[in-house]
Chain A
Amino acid sequence: MTEERMNGAALIIRALQDQGVDTIFGYPGGAVLPIYDEIFKQNQLRHILARQEGGAVHSAEGYARSTGKVGVVLVTSGPGATNAVTGLTDALMDSIPIVCFTGQVPTHLIGNDAFQEADTTGITRPCTKHNYLIKSPDDVARVVHEAFQVATSGRPGPVVIDVPKDVQFGEGTYVPPTSVRHRSYNPQTEPSPGKVDEALSMLAAAKKPIFYVGGGVINAGPAASETLTKLVHATGYPCTQTLMGLGAFPGSDPLSLGMLGMHGMYEANLAMHQSDLIVCVGARFDDRVTGRLDAFAPNAKKIHIDIDPSSINKNVRVDLAIIGDCGIVLDQLLDGWKAKKLKADGAALADWWKSINTWRERKCLNYIQGKDIIKPQYALQRLQAHLDKDPREAFITTEVGQHQMWAAQYLKFEKPNRWMTSGGLGTMGYGLPAAIGVQIAHPDALVVDVSGEASFLMNMQEMSCAAQYKVPIKVFILNNEWMGMVRQWQELLHGGRYAESYTASLPDFVKLAECFGWTGLRATTPGELDDVIAKMIATDGPVIADICIAKDENCFPMIPSGAAHCDMLLGPSDENQSSVSSDGMVLV
């Protein structure tokens, strides 16, 4: 075969095509013009023009998370790269595979404080899984293929490729993906021998077991979620999900206890606390989940299944660690459970469910919906009712704050990859661009960004992007005029001194929608709500539904910071008893 020679920019496009990429999210600039020129000359790759580089990365995250594919981003040097940093950090925290190309000043100017120069590899080193500065056109194809391998294998994450402009112009040789293999990076996917058998005997011996599953199951692919569901059914044990794991196990399943953690279900947190065996699959004992560490699940043995060895024993010491791909380990557990004809201890399990059901009886999500003011919980339940009636597949994105937690509590998640939220980093402004990315990947789906008015303002420039590509996303703003979660913490922890958490001079969201060519709707009373949701869903194009909700509603249940996970506030009446310790005050 003859060598294929082309310039660096063309090499990038060729490598992306060979990686099966169909969409790039980006924003042009001086240092990436040769790459944009190559994009112009071809029709295989579609470029989606964001309105700010941060938006481009979040869109790519939405695309990646809803498809399981790599999200590809292209931004320019300097400010283009620095604007991308929040999105990259978000993708790192939530293990989302992203390959982000950044332009760079020509090699001979690097270090000269040239126009739009930034030390991109230096800045992004701690917020990427790996990054590259390409020095020669001959390295381009290899680095791109290697980046895809690094981004997708092991625990997925973002990879930055910094490409100086002279490298984009210079000529190099193309190499296909099959010829590239990283020489040192090779994460373990198969569990070590004996570990699965050990886990099976612990599972069979447990009296009060619980599955605690997270985003790792979703990252392992839809088949892993199916295996998990079968395994949970085979054992009859309860299953709770993290914020990132919603959809990994069907939320409507009787064995599901819903989300656990700071704003998780009462029954899920109590079951964790009283369990004698926790089977953690693709989750990481995050501080939102454990509450006060020394009071976390004191009587439980813990099995931790994770592809990332650094997640093991990081916060909580576990009794059995199984390093491997969740999908592979779950397959082996299910096969082993069947082959050994293992059975749960029926009497103990019945007692265990009896306890769980008494906790369920507390109905921790109850609220009172009056006649005049829309409660956010009610708005989400009505939204879910309308989504259920719609024949289209529904995808939900969120911003960050109270509305995010309410969405996690009150919406239903039956399948993986349908729920896109910024979990680890907690990035306000994530939901709108993420929804655009989801809708680009799934043009016929119903994509709803459950939003708060403050988060929405953080990336509202992306409305222009949605209008340009006619992506019919629905932004469901739970508008209480406050940065609700900040206000809630100020109420609970700072004596009700609401410093800077009220947003004065909010825009009229209906008019705002219209000026971007969107449709704007508003509901101010419970009576108007259903009509507005129905109209939002039926409208053929992007919509803002401005849902004016109760301004002072707090998000419950809640584990106050620094408290044990069994020590929950269930509603406003509990607030007075809450005494947050001085140790708890410093926590976020």
Chain B
Amino acid sequence: MQSQTIERHTLSLLVDNEPGVLARVIGLFSGRGYNIESLTVAEVNPAEHISRIIVVTSGTPMIIEQIKAQLDRLVPVHSVNDLTAEGPFVARELAMVKVVGKGETRVEALRIADVFRARPVDSTIESFVFEITGSGEKVDAFIDLMRPLGMTDVARTGSLAIARGR
């Protein structure tokens, strides 16, 4: 019997960077009832107009297999790689966190940012914007710590991932 456990997979797609391609990918997930946990898109080969889409999804092994087959069937999709299934990979997220405050909380925010190797990329007398990169868990932990220290805003990417080794 096929496993019914829900697995999380990171998929890496190469697609033609043409109008509507993202809508096709997202529409496939919503139309067929699949989950998107995060999504990151950018052009990686401007000369040939090719973009990479990293999508983190979850489902039973049978659903994951369906998602990959359905994605691969889309006409502008060049390739679908299941990083989770294919071997070790590196995944990172980036967040920018705005913290507003004065006095001791402000110093504490700076101190914790240092521990997390988050960099202030903007500062005023009353605020910082920290840039933090790392695993999703690390970013989550940083944000949790910043919240009581006057955090007012967060902007964060989905997961970026690439296979390890050659």
Binding site for B on A (CB under 8 A): 121-122, 125-126, 129-131, 133, 150, 182-185, 308-310, 312-314, 317
Contact = CB atoms under 8 A, between A and B. Distances in A.
Contact of B72 (A131, A183, A309): A309
Contacts of A133: 19-20
Q: DSSP class of B's interface residues: helix, strand, loop or mixed?
A: helix
A126 B70 contact: no
Given A125-B20, A184-B16, A185-B75, A310 B70 contact: yes
Nearest to A154: B73
Contacts of A310: 66, 69-70, 72-73
A312 B69 contact: yes
B69 A150 contact: no
5 contacts: A121-B20, A130-B75, A309-B73, A310-B69, A312-B69
Given A133-B19, A184-B78, 19 more contacts: A122-B20, A122-B23, A125-B23, A126-B31, A130-B75, A150-B75, A182-B75, A183-B16, A184-B16, A184-B75, A184-B76, A185-B75, A185-B76, A309-B69, A310-B69, A312-B69, A313-B62, A313-B65, A317-B62
A297 to B, nearest CB: 15
A129 B75 CA distance: 8
Interface in B34-86: 62, 65-66, 69-70, 72-73, 75-78
B148 interface: no
A126 B27 contact: yes
A299 B69 CA distance: 27
B24 interface: yes
A129 B23 CA distance: 14
A309 B80 CA distance: 13
B51 to A, nearest CB: 12
Contacts of B31: 126
B2 interface: yes
Contacts of A150: 75
B104 to A, nearest CB: 52
A129 B69 CA distance: 14
B77 A308 contact: no
Interface string B137-152: 0000000000000000
Contacts of B2: 317
Contacts of B72: 309-310
A129 B2 CA distance: 30
Nearest to B79: A184
A125 B19 contact: no
A310 B77 CA distance: 14
A185 B20 CA distance: 16
Contact of B27 (A125, A184, A313, A314): A125
Given A125-B27, A133-B19, A184 B77 contact: yes
A308 B73 CA distance: 8
B66 A314 contact: yes
A156 to B, nearest CB: 13
Contacts of B27: 125-126
Contacts of A317: 2, 62
A284 B148 CA distance: 55
Nearest to B70: A310
B45 to A, nearest CB: 12
Contacts of A126: 27, 31
A182 B75 CA distance: 9
Contacts of B65: 313
A130 B20 CA distance: 11
A-B pairs, top 4 by smallest CB distance, nearest first, are A310-B69, A130-B75, A184-B78, A309-B69
Nearest to A159: B75
A43 to B, nearest CB: 34
- Most chain A beta carbons < 10 A, residue from B2, B16, B69, B75: B75
A12 B20 CA distance: 23
Nearest to B67: A310
Nearest to B71: A310
Which of B23, B66, B78 is most buried by chain A, counting CB atoms within 10 A of its CB?
B66
Contact of B66 (A130, A182, A313): A313
B9 to A, nearest CB: 16
A575 B88 CA distance: 58
